[in-house]
Chains A and B, each alone.
Chain A
Amino acid sequence: MVQGKIKTENIVAALIFFFLFICPLFIDSYSVLNISYFLSMAFLSLSLTLIWGYCGIFSFGQAVFFGIGGYFYAVLTLNLTGTSAITPLGLLLGVILGGLAAWILGYFMFYGGVNDVFVGLITLCLTLVLSTFMGQTAGSAWNIGQVSLGGFNGINGIPALELGPISLSGNNFYYFVLIILFVIYCLLKLFTHSKVGAAIVAIRENRERTKMFGYNVPKIQSLVFAAGGALASLSGILYATWGNYITPSAFALSSATIPVVLVAAGGRKNFTASIIFTVLYYWFAQGLSASGSQYALVILGLILILVTLFVPDGIIVFLFHLSDRLFFHRESKMKEVQEEHLHEKNIG
């Protein structure tokens, strides 16, 4: 949020990043690998926090850009294996492509006056189109260069990132992801305090009114949507290099919904909260899956229901406020959040 700083949030963010930077020193290589996976998925949540939490664009379509990024990187790098510097170039081009695709979609929607829940529906349909389409590319007709798209099985053996002579696997990959995440997190934080940052909050709060302060609202929306697409695409590429693998399930209904669920449950107007909740969720879900418990999905579902019912601003944000109140005596803040929530009820 633009006004003031929440103290706990900053302290927690600093502690977490500090911990993440030193933790490979004392945890095993599997956990490092695992955390780098969670962190890769955090970009997807960040992208939705940016466009939904800050700009009020509700999208089910982050999975589209996630998949586009992953598939583009796979096809490009597998076609040009052996070429040095192809993997970082693939990463860069993939991010740009994701942004461009999002910009085109955004242009098509926002200049045409499509907004609110309709953006969610249109992106949902697009996700389903791509998942249906990619799912049937199993035949030999679907080759791009030497790479077969592989239908439901997806593409395998996607090369890991290489920065010059350094192959980014294990700890290298972990630090690569962590540094990018840290940089992007800081940039996003700065961005929200910038001129455009204020403008997008204004757009979220009242789109029509913001136009009358001389803002080209569709243009700003398209650009923010493009930035969100680029972030989602980055997430997809990191996921593809992490598992050396991408499938159409990246576009499936569940993949489209999970970022929405994570961001909403963690706190959609707060980047720190969505990173924390994303990492916790994946960690927890994996733990449940590994335990082989048949109650895993039931527990996850119940948590989501309870969180939305009782802490509608998101559980992590709620904890931040609680701690602010306990340790920094900021009574008024909580009240304001309450009112904000009521306000949203009226417009939402």
Chain B
Amino acid sequence: MSLSSLMNQFINDFSFLILAAIGLAVIFGMMKIINLAHGEFIMLGAYITTLSAQAGVPLIISIVFGAIGVGIMGYLIDRLIICRLYGRTLDSVVVTWGISMVIQQGMLIIFGPSLQGVSTPLGSVSFAGSTYSVYRILLFAISIGALFLLYLIFMKTKFGLYSRATMQNQEIARSMGVNTNRIYSMTFSIGAAFAGLTGGLYAPTMAISPTFGTGFLMQSFVTVIVGGANPLIGTSLSGGVLGIVNSILDTTWGTFFGEIGLLICAILVIRLLPLGFSGVVEKWFVRKRRM
């Protein structure tokens, strides 16, 4: 396999892993909620984007609509359901499973088994003998942009400060006057919005159906598991490492081995570094600071 096709593959894998995982990572990392409805959030983003693009809205604005729409819906779901489950990691598994059933079947009832898609914009370029989809390169840039946005939200805003405080110690944060419930709702909503963004971004590259999200689920979970609790450090590192593993295995032996390789990576990481990459990095930082 040539280096350029490996590179092309890595760009694709990295952006897919990051975008698939980012919403899940925010919700899991900040709230310790395993959101099994993550795939359905992505699917909703894709539907909103596709429907508004068909209604004549420019694609880029449609994608933003997708993110905002799912963000609002995430806020509602949190207020109605999830807010009663803060701190109950395992109950949240059951509830989000229920939510995913309702959303998926609900969309089938409302919109039928498929929707006409919009085609991928922006043509393709040839470089070093191979063709690259411009949109794919843009996705790569957006995935890095999304990580940067996450950095801005959680490291540079007051909300981010409060939410990190809440994540560290809910009791203390609350005693210092932080409305932790509001922080959680916002976090859930941001996580959902990222999922919606992912759905919107991938909508023009895939078939639109109520099972749209299932294609993201495995990759998103693996990325979050390998990354650990910190959504920013964890997601970017594990996206990078898994992207490399997946692209090498995939280009050399085929899709199946790429997939199995990801899963085995995840199992090894949980066994060897139960806190994931971000756990290791944080430990390293703590040590450095104390030395």
Contacts and interface: CB of A to CB of B under 8 A. Distances in A.
A191 interface: no
Interface stretch (B61-69, B99-107, B200-208): B99-107
Contacts of B270: 114, 118, 121-122, 125
B109 A122 contact: no
Interface in B242-291: 256, 259-260, 263-264, 266-267, 270-271, 274
B105 A298 contact: yes
B90 A301 contact: no
Interface string A297-337: 11011111100110010000000000000000000000000
A348 B267 contact: no
B13 to A, nearest CB: 16
B161 interface: no
Contacts of B217: 253
Interface of B is mostly: helix
B87 A261 contact: no
Nearest to A300: B101
Interface stretch (A72-80, A94-102, A128-136): A128-136
Interface stretch (B115-123, B128-136, B218-226): B218-226
B26 interface: no
A142 B77 CA distance: 46
A250 B84 CA distance: 32
Interface string A76-110: 00000000000000000000000000000000110
Nearest to B218: A128
A87 B89 CA distance: 41
A15 B126 CA distance: 74
Contacts of B141: none
Contacts of B36: 257
B98 A308 contact: yes
A301 B85 CA distance: 17
Contacts of B222: 125
A34 B48 CA distance: 42
B98 A301 contact: yes
Nearest to A303: B98
Contacts of A112: 271
A265 interface: yes
Given A125-B263, A129-B264, A309-B81, A264 B91 contact: yes
A23 interface: no
A300 B259 CA distance: 31
B94 interface: yes
A296 B93 CA distance: 20
A133 B264 CA distance: 12
B241 to A, nearest CB: 16
Contacts of B221: 121, 124-125
17 contacts: A117-B34, A117-B90, A120-B34, A120-B93, A121-B221, A125-B270, A132-B259, A253-B217, A257-B93, A261-B93, A297-B101, A304-B101, A305-B99, A305-B102, A308-B85, A308-B95, A348-B89
Sorted nearest first, the 6 A-B pairs with minimum C-beta distance are A301-B101, A304-B98, A301-B102, A297-B105, A305-B98, A301-B98
Given A129-B267, A136-B256, 14 more contacts: A117-B32, A120-B90, A129-B260, A132-B256, A132-B259, A257-B93, A260-B90, A261-B97, A297-B102, A308-B85, A309-B84, A345-B88, A348-B87, A348-B89
